[in-house]
Every structure is written in structure tokens, then in C-alpha cells.
């Protein structure tokens, strides 16, 4: 029986540069998320909120309607 205690390697975080347009802030839940659905008026909604409001925001699964300006936005044009 051998007790093998090995020290956990210290992972240095920092070599992590992956910024495209900066974090987005959901206009619905105010959380900062890496991705939001955005309307041309500037409205942003995160995946979670979009999913929760899917039945209200989208009637066909292809477009979603911005609650701010009423614009129809496609799900695939990001
Ligand atoms: Zn949200
Ligand atoms: Zn809008």
C-alpha cells in the first residue's frame, strides 16, 4: 500500500486573451455574457433570456422580435 500524495500543479491563469468585441451585457437580466443576440437598435439579450422568452420573442424559430423597437431579427445573421 503506497500513499501517493502529489502536489497539484499550479495553473497560472493569464495567458488567456480572446477578446473580440468585449463582453456583452444582457438588457434583460443585466448579466455580462460572452454572447448576446443583438438588435440593430442596440438591444441585447442573452441566450438564457432568449430561451426563456422564446415563445414570446419568436413565432417561427427563424426570427425574433425586438421588444424595444419591434424589429425582426434573424437567428442566423450574427
Ligand atoms: Zn439575459
Ligand atoms: Zn430593436
- Residue 16 CA, ligand 1 centroid: distance in Å: 25
- Residue 77 CA, ligand 1 centroid: distance in Å: 19
What CA–CA distance (Å, rounded) separates 46 from 58?
A: 14
**DSSP code of residue 75:** S
pLDDT at 57: 92
- Residue 16 CA, ligand 2 centroid: distance in Å: 33
What is the residue extent of each domain of the chain? 24-74
- Mean pLDDT across 16-32: 80
Nearest CA to 48 out of 70, 33, 64 is that of 33
Q: Are 54 and 62 in contact (CB under 8 A)?
A: no
- Residue 44 CA, ligand 1 centroid: distance in Å: 8
- Mean pLDDT across 2-12: 60
- Tell me if the pTM is above 0.75: no
Full DSSP string of 39-70: -TTS-EEEHHHHHHTHHHH-SSSSEEE-TTT-
Tell me which of 77 and 48 has the higher pLDDT.
48
State which CATH number among 3.30.40, 1.10.10, 3.30.43, 3.30.420 fits the domain covering 24-74.
3.30.40
Amino acid at each position: 500500500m503506497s500513499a501517493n500524495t502529489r502536489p497539484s500543479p499550479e495553473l497560472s491563469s493569464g495567458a488567456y486573451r480572446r477578446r473580440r468585441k468585449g463582453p456583452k451585457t444582457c438588457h434583460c437580466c443585466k448579466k455580462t455574457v460572452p454572447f448576446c443576440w443583438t438588435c440593430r437598435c442596440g438591444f441585447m439579450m442573452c441566450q438564457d433570456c432568449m430561451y426563456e422568452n422564446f415563445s414570446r420573442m419568436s413565432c417561427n424559430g427563424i426570427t425574433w422580435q425586438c421588444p424595444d423597437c419591434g424589429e425582426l431579427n434573424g437567428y442566423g445573421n450574427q
